[in-house]
Amino acid sequence: MTGYGEAEGDINGATYTVEIRTVNNRYLKTSIKLPEIAAFLEEDIDKLLRKNLSRGTVSYVLRLKTVSPNALFDIDETALRAYIEKLSRAGASADIKCTIDIGSLLVVPGIIQPILPDEKMAELIKDTVLSITQKAIDKLKQMRAAEGVALAADLNSHCKAIKQNLQQIRGHNTVVLQEYQKKLKKRVDELLAEAKLKLDEETLAKEVAIFADRSDISEEIARLDSHLQQFAESCQSNAAAGRKLDFISQEMLREANTIASKASGTELIRCVVDIKCHIDRLKEQIQNIE
C-alpha cells in the first residue's frame, strides 16, 4: 500500500528529519539512507520498520535539516598547518611569491574529518532517531488505513457480485440437468424412430445419472462460498492479512475453474466467466494490501 509519514526531532542544535514512503510490493523491501553521523543505526531502523510493516517497498531517509556550526565535521588543524608550511617552503625555495588559499586546501583528503559521536552522544542520537522514526511510521499507517477503507469497500463489492453469481448457478444447475434429460431422450427417440425401437427408460436413467455425477458442482459451490466467508472475515481482521487474502483468492480461482470445466449451458458459463473476472479483480487489489 502507498503511504507517507514524516517526523523530526532536535539534538544539540541539529534537527533530524525522517521521511518514509511506501509503494506496493508483494513482499517487504527496505531502502535506508542515513547521514554518516547516524550510519550505525541502519540495523536498528530496519528492525523497527519490519516490526511495524509486513508488505511494500519502503524508502526511508534521515536528514539533518539544520545543524550547528560544529555538528557535522571537524578540521584536522595539524594536517592543515603541515600543508601550509610545506607549500610556503616550496614557494620560498623556488623564489615564487604566492598566496595560499586555505579554503582550497579543505578539499584535500584528510583535512576535514566527520565527527563521530562518542558513546553518550550515540545513545542520544539512537533514542531520538528511533523515536521520530516510530512517529513517522504511525503517520504512515494512518494514511494507509484511510486507503484501506476504500480498498475494503471495493473488495466487498466484488465478493457480493460473486455471491450473486453463485446463487444463480445453484438455481440453473438443476434446470440444466432436467434439460439434458429431455434433449437426450428426444435425440435418442429420433434416432431410433426409423428402426421402430423404443428407448429403455432404465438406460436413459443411467445415462442421466452419469451426466449428473460428472457435472455435479455442489461441492465446488460450497467451497467457494466458504472461501468468500473466510475472505470477508480476513478483511475485518485488524492483523496484516495481505498474504492470507492472496492465498484465499487463489483457492477461489481454483474452484471457479473446476466449476467452469463441469458447467454446461450458456447461462452457467456466463456466470462462471463473471465470477472469474471478479476474482481477477480481487487478486489485483490484494497486491495493495498489507
Q: How many other CB atoms sit within 10 Å of the CB of residue 129?
A: 21
**Residue that has been written with the C-alpha cell 480498498 in this structure:** 151
Q: DSSP secondary structure string, the chain?
A: --EEEEEEEEETTEEEEEEEEEE--SSEEEEEE--GGGGGGHHHHHHHHHHH--SEEEEEEEEEEE--TTSSEEE-HHHHHHHHHHHHHHHHHTT------HHHHTTSTTTEEEPPP-HHHHHHHHHHHHHHHHHHHHHHHHHHHHHHHHHHHHHHHHHHHHHHHHHHHHHHHHHHHHHHHHHHHHHHHHHHHTTT----HHHHHHHHHHHHHHT--HHHHHHHHHHHHHHHHHHH-SS--HHHHHHHHHHHHHHHHHHHHH--SHHHHHHHHHHHHHHHHHHHHHTT--
**Identity (one letter) of the amino acid at 48?**
L
β-pairing verdict for 56-66 and 28-33? parallel
Q: What pLDDT score was predicted for residue 279?
A: 92
Q: How many other CB atoms sit within 10 Å of the CB of residue 103?
A: 6
**Residue that has been written with the C-alpha cell 519502503 in this structure:** 58
pLDDT beneath 70, residues of the chain: 1, 66-74, 106, 110, 112-116, 172-216, 238-240, 263-265
Helices 119-193 and 218-236: crossing angle in degrees, nearest 10, is 160
Q: What pLDDT score was predicted for residue 91?
A: 73
* Distance (Å, whole) CA 48 – CA 290: 16
* Distance (Å, whole) CA 43 – CA 108: 32
C-alpha cell at 191: 434416432
Contact 269, 260 (CB under 8 A): yes
Q: What pLDDT score was predicted for residue 252?
A: 92
Q: What pLDDT score was predicted for residue 280?
A: 92
C-alpha cell at 127: 533514542
β-pairing verdict for 28-33 and 14-23? unpaired
Q: What pLDDT score was predicted for residue 219?
A: 79
Q: For the full predicted model, state whether its pTM sits above 0.85.
A: no
* Distance (Å, whole) CA 206 – CA 35: 79
Which value, to the nearest 10 degrees, does the dihedral of the CA atoms of residues 125, 126, 132, 136 take? 130
Which residues 6+ apart lie within 8 Å of 233 measured at CB?
Answer: none
